[in-house]
Chain A
Amino acid sequence: MPRRLLASLVVSLLVVVAVAAVTHGQSGEYKIGVLEPLTGPLAGEGKRHLEGYEIVRDMINARGGVMGKKLVFAVADAPDPTAAATEATRLITREGVKIVTGTFSSRLCGAASEAAARHNVIYWETSCVDPRFSKRGLKTVYRTEIDATGFGWYNVEFIAKHLAPRLGKKPSELKIAFLSEDSSYGQGVTESARQRAKDEFKMQEVAAEYYNFQTINDFTPIIVKFKQLAPDVVHHIGYTNDAPLFWRQAKEQNFLFKAHVHAGATGYGSSDFGKALGNDANGAFALLEPGPGFRIESLKPDGQKLEKEFRDAVQKRTGSYPLGAHQLAGGGLWLLKLVLDRAKTDDPDKFRAAVMSLDLPVGSMINGWGVKFSETGQNANDRVQHYMLQWQNGQLVTVWPEEFTTMRAKWIPLPAWDQRK
């Protein structure tokens, strides 16, 4: 044992020396502000998000940092919107940062970015999905992840281009029932999906129902109603306690729909859903970042190299496949590096010009993302590639788009509840 310890010590020392050698060429440090919920109810995700940032920061520094300097973080804790605003201000006025990034949550990003914009400081959001974020006309505020309306866009893309053919129907022949929790997230996804399903694909909407996830105790009346409407597809944006309740009661009532689609890391996209239902979860779809089954070879050569390095680093540090928070933070910070490489300054106007000039196809970087920002500071839906995952025997696996994965969507249409094995 001691010998192995000694060996690993020597290896670590060598790594440190190697990194020191690489970073030797850099003169000084470049500090950015990182805002995360590190305490309170969002702490778990916030810490993972910070972990993603740290992993990619090390990857960036191993390549010479940003603007010739070593990238370092001034980290601040933002458990609630008030703290997000005051801590953003503190990072700017006391720590003197010119770029603030964060914040994981839609609850926090609005307040934090508002504070940064007031000081004419760049705000670089990497994961919040509140649709209002990029509609405020703030010139120094950017978001690398798509918003909730983008999730709706992708869900309908999947339903029209993958599910419809496999169900042997034209999109216009599909009957679709929308069900959603009524927060800004659920409404954002659902309303954009409804609109695209109707305007672009002429799908037949048979129901659109909202509920409050904190007070819903029984889905039976909704399920009884939906059974009579016989939808092909149920589009359900659920939260963590209501999604298992809907699924369990749908099984009890023997409600047979042909497919079920969700978006995001809560509800059907959360590992809690699998824990709550075991193999009964089989068949549910959730739009997410890439998971098991993701084919690195499907990316562009540069993207492949980056994705592999990123995954290895996450594996080394956490012992697992990258989770959503790692992937959003990692992909977002890498994009910031690309912008700074081009702008060579943190001057807001030149930075903005560099952001707008970036144009990379899907598959160019971590998560298989590409880049094309709009004037609102929002990265484009069809560049920030998202993936459909499906619950298959206790695991969420990547099933669509098929060119990006080795796994295939099963159970289309869904068979009887006891035959999803």
Chain B
Amino acid sequence: MDPAARLGPAQIDVVAQLAVSTVLLGGIYALIAVGLTLIFGVMRVVNFAHGEFLMLGMYLAFFAFTLQSLDPYFVLVVAIPLFFGVGLVVYLLVMKGVIDASHNVQIFTTVGLSTALQNLALVLWTGDFRVIRPWHSSVVLRIGGTAFNLSQVVAFAVAVALTVGLFAFMKWTHTGRVMRATAQDRDAATLMGVDTDRVYRLTFAIGIACVGAAGVLVSPLYAAYPQAGLQFVLLAYVVVVLGGLGDMVGAMVGSLIVATVEIAGSYMFGTAWKEVFYFLLFIAVLVFRPAGLFGQRGAETLGV
């Protein structure tokens, strides 16, 4: 039986629901990918530990909610500066030492950091699945034939705000211009008097602050556990490659493309296929448009 064969009001509701789900899921992916694309784009570092900072953000929201009954949206205000600080510390302790090293060394370093953080979480907080239920996670909005969760809408709204904010920051502020200059040609930027170490420090801290905020925002929707980051981070790489490295708007569009492939694929072919589809897409983009769907200046320095 093919449910798509008959077209009527019921079918329109189905399509509307799938579209809404796609947009909201895309928002969550964008939230996670935006920090990654920033670090990737400016520093040329593949941060394999990105998902673990997401996991830490989820745990922060969990403990703040269960121990102090603090709503995740309140925690968000604290989480952004806190994770900015975490980003700075991790940069100084770990990333600074390998920023001039080869890509292989950087990959080994961030994979090591990822495994270390996962196991630290396992030791400190066990492998249990931690779920919180703030009031907004059980508020369901119904418009027409579609239904969606309030926490998801908020996550989407913040994702859009973050994307737009970072885009504007990169485009119109002096610091943003300096960051873009460093991304395009590090040596030339240094010759122009740019303190590249400061740029990298700032980039890494902003990237980690974004993903920490993402962790807090998804905590009402998904369980926190030591490997929670893995659930999203592979996707974030697909998104970043699709959108073009370092391209904020590209990350948003890439997220929506991945979510479309996932939702439509699950509905039409079955969920087991979803990873087949978006990794085929991933490979196709790498082969035919290595600089991402929208292209990006400076991508050649990556050597991809």
Contact of A241 among B28, B223, B232 (CB under 8 A): B223
Are B122 and A41 touching (Cβ within 8 A)? yes
Number of interface residues of B (CB under 8 A): 43
Report A-chain residues with C-beta under 8 Å of the C-beta of B301.
none
A82 to chain B, nearest CB (A): 18
* Residues in A neighbouring B227, C-beta threshold 8 A: 214
Question: Which of these, A217, A220, A221, A253, contacts B222 with CB under 8 Å?
Answer: A217
Contacts of A95 in B (CB 8 A): none
Instruction: Encode A254-272 as 1/0 by CB contact (under 8 A) with B.
Output: 1000000000000000001
Distance between A190 CB and nearest chain B CB, rounded to angstroms: 13
Chain B residues near A252 (CB-CB < 8 A): 140, 147-149
Contact with A along B115-131 (1 / 0, CB 8 A): 00000001000111101
Chain B positions within 8 Å of A325 at CB level: none
> Which of A49-57, A125-133, A204-212 has 4 or more CB atoms under 8 Å from chain B?
A204-212
B17→A209 contact, CB < 8 A:
no
Residues of chain B contacted by A222 (CB below 8 angstroms)? 266-267, 271
B165 within 8 A of A: no
Q: Which residues of A contact B131 (CB under 8 A)?
A: 244, 272, 275-276
Which of A215, A220, A225, A277 sits near B234, CB closer than 8 Å? A215
Minimum CB distance partner of B263 in chain A: A221
1/0 contact string of A217-257 vs chain B (CB within 8 Å)? 11011101100110000000000110011001001111000
Does B285 sit at the interface, judged by CB under 8 A? Answer: no
Interface SS majority for chain A: helix
A28 contacts the other chain (Cβ, under 8 Å)? no
Instruction: Assess whether B270 is in contact with A212, with CB atoms less than 8 Å apart.
Output: no
Q: Which of A216, A240, A244, A253 contacts B271 (CB 8 A)?
A: A216
Task: Answer whether A225 and B3 are a contact pair too, CB < 8 Å, given A217-B231, A220-B18.
Answer: yes
Q: Which residues of A lie under 8 Å from residue B230 when comparing CB positions? A: 214
| Alpha-carbon separation in the docked complex, A85 to B116 (Å) | 26
Q: Which residue on A lies nearest to B232, using beta carbons?
A: A217
Q: Does the CB pair A240–B267 fall under 8 Å?
A: no
User: Residue on B with the closest CB to A245?
Assistant: B222
Q: Which residue of A lies closest to B218 (CB)?
A: A217
Are B17 and A220 touching (Cβ within 8 A)? yes
**Closest residue of chain B to A254, judged by CB?**
B147
CB-defined A-B contacts under 8 Å, sample of 12 = A210-B270, A212-B272, A214-B231, A217-B235, A221-B271, A224-B17, A228-B3, A241-B228, A251-B140, A254-B147, A272-B129, A277-B133
Residues of A whose CB lies within 8 Å of any CB of B are: 41, 44, 182, 209-212, 214-218, 220-222, 224-225, 228-229, 240-241, 244-245, 248, 251-254, 272, 275-278, 280
Interface positions of B (Cβ within 8 A of A): 1, 3, 10, 14, 17-18, 21, 25, 28, 122, 126-129, 131, 133, 137-138, 140, 147-149, 221-223, 225, 227-228, 230-232, 234-235, 262-264, 266-267, 270-272, 274-275
Known A-B contacts: A248-B137, A253-B17. Give 6 more (CB < 8 A).
A41-B122, A41-B127, A210-B271, A217-B262, A229-B3, A272-B129
